[in-house]
Structure 1
Amino acid sequence: MDNQDVSPALSAGMNGNAAPRPGWFKRLVAQEDLNFLLTNRVPRIALTRLMGRLSRIDSPLLTRLSIAVWQMFTSLDLSEAKHREFRSLRDCFTRELKPGSRVFDARPGVLASPSDGIVGATGVVEQGQVYQAKGFPYSTAELFGPTQDASAFEGGRFVTLRLTSAMYHRFHAPADGTVDHVTYLSGDTWNVNPVALKRVERLFCRNERAVVRMTLASGHAIALVPVAAILVASIRLHFLDVLLHIGRKGANEMPCSAPHAKGQEMGWFEHGSTIIVFVPQGFELAEGIAPGVQIPAGQALLKRID
């Protein structure tokens, strides 16, 4: 191997010219390696199915103990929950909130965030490509699947929203409109945290996902793509009265005509995952939307400029 085959930093290190990495950098890399190992180099689908069964065990005592352990490792806050007693972990994961806990931006030209989430990659769809992380592009055609045409979003924008395990897991209509079609694509259950997004190419295209096509009252076509992940390969869509999960192999086509008002609940994840929002040309990011920012469902996410 010669120096042109390695990165400049590594090349400099081989020549003895690079400064040693600081201790904090080495610790960070070690933590990322461990995180990736523990959450991805495991039998992901088997663990996900096991977690699905465990989360449905009807035992208030076991549930209380599990939630107590959960709160030791996450920022789980149940103060907004409509009910504080849960019979299973699934009940806690999919909890409703007290009325008024999420207020949706009512301005007609605004697309509200469909869920709580941390803003991930954002940008413009260029030549059918978007990014899950810096240097990791993926194709909208592959994400949407072989039966769907993603060309309506060429030149438009996308926003990635990541839901952590402790967040509110229900998602809502970002604007008034009608859901026209849903495509469910079975797949893997890679973790979708930032560590994995920087290491696994085309991760969102590999995982289980649903492509929800919607026509807004304004006539614009948008798409919401809920992507499942390890321990959470189940997506409930109320308007189809169906639970989508890894047992449904292949591309499942579900045409429909389901009117929604802005803020109306559309469904839920059964743990935590990601929603990618696609809009056509004529939209821009709302004020304050940037990678790393945590936002609640209902906050302005995108706004129409045409």
Structure 2
Amino acid sequence: MLNQLKAIIQYLLPKQLITVIFGWLAKKPLGKVTTWLIKGFCKLYKIDLSEAKISNITEYKTFNDFFARELKDDARPIDTSDNSVVMPADGILSQFGNIQDNQLLQAKGHTYTLESLLACHPDMIKFFKNGAYATTYLSPKNYHRFHMPCDGILREMIYVPGSLFSVSKATTESIPNIFARNERVICLFETEFGPMAQILVGATIVGSIEVEWEGIITPPREGIMKRWTYSGEIKLSKGQDMGCFKLGSTVITLFASNAVEFSSELKLGDTTRVGKKLAERI
């Protein structure tokens, strides 16, 4: 009943307006106000800044600088096994498993399709049919940068406009097709494991999605799909920083059929950490 109420509120909220306002404020250098906001946020979510490269709150000029903070080089050791695939983000493993034909599980009672998630891209749908997927939810308390799960060559990126529903546990259990309805950035890589996609899902108050090779992808929010293709010049290594959310959201990682097997000790709701083993080559 509570989740249904939260879902109704999500439908009624002016999500785009809230996100625009928050995004505007978050990029403004407001001096002591910014420092006060960051201190309050750290206290509310029990954020440990000792592992950040900049641990002194007063050195962050904007709230976005704080949210996009980098960690110390040794804060997230990367599993270096040749056959391993690592976790792309700090967060919660909300779903993982095999794609049943073209169906992925969003939450109990809710599935969605590769067609809807991948904006009907025919090649990507073919690549990942009967493949495997992992959904990582980044809450406001988490480190907000996302990383490569394995070595890869970037081949294509697509920005898909959409809504900005919250992607919290309550809403994913209540609002159908939420990941395919929300704004997202789809990054397709060629890897030694076969094709791999990282899908960066926007949400309420996510003022920006940014990637290292193109900078800020959104905003602006112009309501049109955008596509970039690459000829092999962008190569990223396992564990390498891909970009960041300017507040928490979700990363969905897709693998081809018979490419990887998830670690046997994984279970739904596990805490994820960048660089820890997620799966290994079959």
Question: Does the pair score TM above 0.5?
Answer: yes
2:12 aligned residue:
41
2:213 aligned counterpart, secondary structure: helix
1:110 aligns with 2:87: no
Contact 1:112 1:175 in 2 (8 A): yes
Distance 1:188 1:246, change over 3 A: farther
Ranges in structure 2 where 5+ consecutive residues have no aligned partner: none
1:74 aligns with 2:45: yes
Q: How does 1:19-98 map to 2 (within 5 A)?
A: 29-30=1-2, 32=3, 35-36=6-7, 41-83=12-54, 84=56, 85-98=59-72
Distance in 2 (alpha carbons) for counterparts of 1:207 and 1:265: 23
Higher relative contact order (CA closer than 8 Å, sequence separation 6+): 2
Contact 1:77 1:166 in 2 (8 A): no
Q: Which residue among 182, 200, 203 is the counterpart of 1:226?
A: 200
Distance 1:242 1:63, change over 3 A: closer
Question: Could you tell me which amino acid in structure 1 is paired with residue 12 of structure 2?
Answer: R
Q: Deviating runs (4+, > 4 A) in structure 1?
A: 33-40
Give the paired residue count: 275
1:152 aligned counterpart, secondary structure: helix
Distance in 2 (alpha carbons) for counterparts of 1:183 and 1:105: 29
Contact 1:154 1:281 in 2 (8 A): yes
Question: 1:248, CA displacement in angstroms?
Answer: 3.6
1:272 aligned residue:
248
Identity percentage of aligned residues: 28
1:294 aligns with 2:265: no
Q: Deviations over 1:96-122 (max 9, x none)?
A: 111110111111111111111200111
1:79 aligned counterpart, secondary structure: helix
Q: How does 1:150-161 map to 2 (within 5 A)?
A: 150-161=125-136
Bigger shift: 82-91 or 197-206?
Answer: 82-91
Question: 1:60, CA displacement in angstroms?
Answer: 3.0
Normalising by the residue count of structure 1, what TM-score does the alignment of the two structures yield? 0.85
1:21 aligned residue:
none
Question: 1:127, CA displacement in angstroms?
Answer: 2.3
Q: How does 1:134-145 map to 2 (within 5 A)?
A: 134-145=108-119
1:176 aligned residue:
151
Q: Which residue among 103, 111, 115 is the counterpart of 1:129?
A: 103
Question: 1:33, CA displacement in angstroms?
Answer: 5.3
1:26 aligned residue:
none
Question: Could you tell me which amino acid in structure 2 is paired with residue 296 of structure 1?
Answer: R
Contact 1:60 1:86 in 2 (8 A): no
1:285 aligns with 2:256: no
Question: 1:234, CA displacement in angstroms?
Answer: 1.7
Contact 1:187 1:246 in 2 (8 A): no
For the pair shown, the structure with the greater C-alpha radius of gyration is: 1
1:304 aligns with 2:281: yes
Ranges in structure 1 where 5+ consecutive residues have no aligned partner: 1-28
Distance in 2 (alpha carbons) for counterparts of 1:208 and 1:143: 10
RMSD: 1.7
Question: 1:249, CA displacement in angstroms?
Answer: 2.2
Distance in 1 (alpha carbons) for counterparts of 2:264 and 2:275: 14
1:259 aligned residue:
235
1:226 aligned counterpart, secondary structure: strand
Contact 2:164 2:183 in 1 (8 A): yes
